[in-house]
Structure 1
Amino acid sequence: MSADKKKIVLKLYLHDDKAKTKAMARVSSLQGIDSLAIDMNEQKLTVTGDVDPVDVVRNLRKCWYTEILSVGPAKEEKKKEEPKKEGGDKKKEAYQDYKSHVTVYHCVQCAEENPNACVTC
């Protein structure tokens, strides 16, 4: 096993199995991939191999919103899992989904065009 092998965990917003298959095909086309795993419940993609995380994200962002959650060595020591809190996670998750799909537009006006416009610098 080479020292350059990494484990990359990405948050990937997929909606169905067709998108999952397409994402797997896009990532598997990159050189240096050893293994791929997608958890549809948590919407996480795990890539292991000698590959640049930026290349993986760049390839996926052409079709889906993608976030890097972690990049580390391929082998990890097993950690004790902490119990999940059930109550607040669903609200936070729903807000994050809402936030990722909202586009904010700002109206900018020059004070010369409209003398009554509010100017903030």
Structure 2
Amino acid sequence: MNKVVLQVELLDDKTKKKAMKAVSKISGVESVSMEMKEQKLTLIGDMDAVVVVEKLRKLCYTEILSYGPAKVEKKENKKEKEPEKKNIDQTQNIADILKTYETYHNHYHYTSHVEENPNACVIC
């Protein structure tokens, strides 16, 4: 989850609607918020900031102010117990996958072409 804060120069509500619509169509965007007084657009989700800026620059001037991980509140007690279980499960899953799939060796068949008369005419 990334948080991208963009400064956009939106002059009226029509361009604001177009910008919100364009940004919401991008895959990975989970939430969009707009502050018209400060002219800031905040996006949260797994998306590429460059793609977002390219879309918005078609509508108005856009500049990236900040890009970083989104702050999500998590409980520490549960978080400490879960990674231990996940690590064990992941190693077991990897071991199971390696056991089930055997390597496949490709067999190469070489063919040879023999002509009766190597000096013969191609057309005939």
Alignment match, 1:29:
25
Verify the 8 A CA contact 2:15 2:59 in the aligned structure 1.
no
Instruction: State how far apart, in whole Å, the 2-side matches of 1:46 and 1:76 are.
Output: 15
Instruction: State how far apart, in whole Å, the 1-side matches of 2:72 and 2:65 are.
Output: 15
Q: Pick from 47, 68, 77: which aligns with 1:72? A: 68
Q: Rg bigger for which structure?
A: 2
> TM-score if structure 1 supplies the norm length?
0.58
Q: Deviations along 1:50-107, whole A, 9 cap, x unmatched?
A: 0000000001001111000000111179xxxxxxxxxxxxxxxxxxxxxxxxxxxxxx
Larger helix proportion, structure 1 or 2? Answer: 2
SS of corresponding position for 1:63? coil
Alignment match, 1:38:
34
Alignment match, 2:47:
51
Instruction: State how far apart, in whole Å, the 1-side matches of 2:50 and 2:7 are.
Output: 14
The CA RMSD measured in Å over matched residues stands at 1.3
Name stretches of at least 5 consecutive residues in structure 1 with no aligned partner.
78-121
Call closer, same or farther: CA 1:47–1:12 in 2, change over 3 Å.
Answer: same
Q: How many pairs does the alignment contain?
A: 73
> TM-score if structure 2 supplies the norm length?
0.57
Identity value in percent: 56
Cα deviation for residue 18 of structure 1 reads: 1.2
Cα deviation for residue 16 of structure 1 reads: 1.2
Q: Pick from 5, 10, 14: which aligns with 1:9? A: 5
Name stretches of at least 5 consecutive residues in structure 2 with no aligned partner.
74-124
